[in-house]
Amino acid sequence: MAEPLRLMAVHAHPDDESSKGAASMARYAAEGVEVLVVSCTGGERGDVLNPRLQGDARLARDMAEYRRREMAEAARVLGVQHRWLGYVDSGLPEGDPLPPLPPGCFALEPLELTTNALVHVVREFRPHVMTTYDETGGYPHPDHIMCHKVSLAAFEAAADPEAFPAAGPAWQVDKLYYHATFHRRRIRAFHDAMIERGLESPFAEWVQRMDADAEEGHAHPAPPELEITTRVECADWFETRDRALLAHATQIDPDGFFFGVPMDLQREMWPTEDYHLAVSHVPTTTPEDDLFAGLREGVA
């Protein structure tokens, strides 16, 4: 039998996997690819973001347990495997000046310790492709930035037989991708299409900020965006993605921006999920339409 292709998606919190790359994962899982989501933290410090559930004392009392159940349901919906890395949510610091992060949280753990934990998972699962965030984390949450650091370090260390020898036999992951989900071109395209249809755009405030950032001489210009190298066609799995998102009931507002663009418009305007190829150990040519470009013949 041919060896199955394997994809590992490393995320900071439960629910991140359903908002970034979920339709791609569901597509690959349906095609027979083995897909594993790794959640670095349990999301214990997440706020209740669904207005319908705010004020429920049970959630505040045991957020960790609720988020475990939500993650299990999202994984079932997507058809993927799931693994907890086991670290504690750092929370999103707010204020001026920003308060210190809580002791023992993921973002303050020694990089060698967290890398060792993820290398164990990489060498056990032996993915051909890994996905994670770029160095900005996608947005400046300390766990997202730490997730990038850990993922990149584990991607490199897993292939080195002298690194973390107790973690199992060395395994070289062939390709590493960064998510490029909420990029400006996509947001602008949806916003303009909604306005043209006479509909209220859920991205109006985003576009206003983007326009302000683009003004000449702006004090805090937005950082340059990732080059999109890979666009995975997955419109047939957008509804699966949305069901996975809704499984994270504490975190997702059913009336929020995730669901503000009609499904037919999403499929017409942007039928892909987008990625940046950060590292490849196999020959490939960009632009790609497959995370496994350059691998299918050699593996399967």
Residue range 69-125, pLDDT digits in tens: 999 999 999 999 999 999 999 999 988 888 999 999 999 999 999 999 999 999 999
* Ramachandran quadrant class, 21 (left: phi over 0; alpha: psi -120 to 50; beta: rest): left
> Can you give the pLDDT at residue 2?
73
**82 among annotated binding-site residues:** no
Ranges 155-159, 183-187, 206-210: which has the least confidence:
206-210
Instruction: Summarize the confidence of residues 179-184 as an average pLDDT.
Output: 92
**220 among annotated binding-site residues:** no
Residues whose CB is less than 8 angstroms from the CB of residue 180 and which lie 6 or more positions away in sequence, other chains included: 225, 226, 228, 274, 275, 276
**Omega of the bond leading into 140 within 30 degrees of 0 (cis):** no
> Binning pLDDT at 50, 70 and 90, where does residue 160 land?
very high
**Omega of the bond leading into 287 within 30 degrees of 0 (cis):** yes
Tokens for 90?
Answer: 């750092």
Q: Of 51, 88, 36, which Cα lies nearest the Cα of 67?
A: 88
Residue range 222-247, pLDDT digits in tens: 667 899 999 999 999 999 999 999 99
* Architecture of the domain made up of 6-182+271-299: 3-Layer(aba) Sandwich (3.40)
Tell me the domain boundaries of the chain: 6-182+271-299, 184-224
Give the predicted TM-score (pTM) of the model: 0.95
Which residues on neighbouring strands pair with residue 273, listed in sequence order? Answer: 232
> Binning pLDDT at 50, 70 and 90, where does residue 60 land?
confident
> Can you give the pLDDT at residue 95?
87
**289 among annotated binding-site residues:** no
> Can you give the pLDDT at residue 222?
64
On average, the pLDDT of the chain sits at: 94
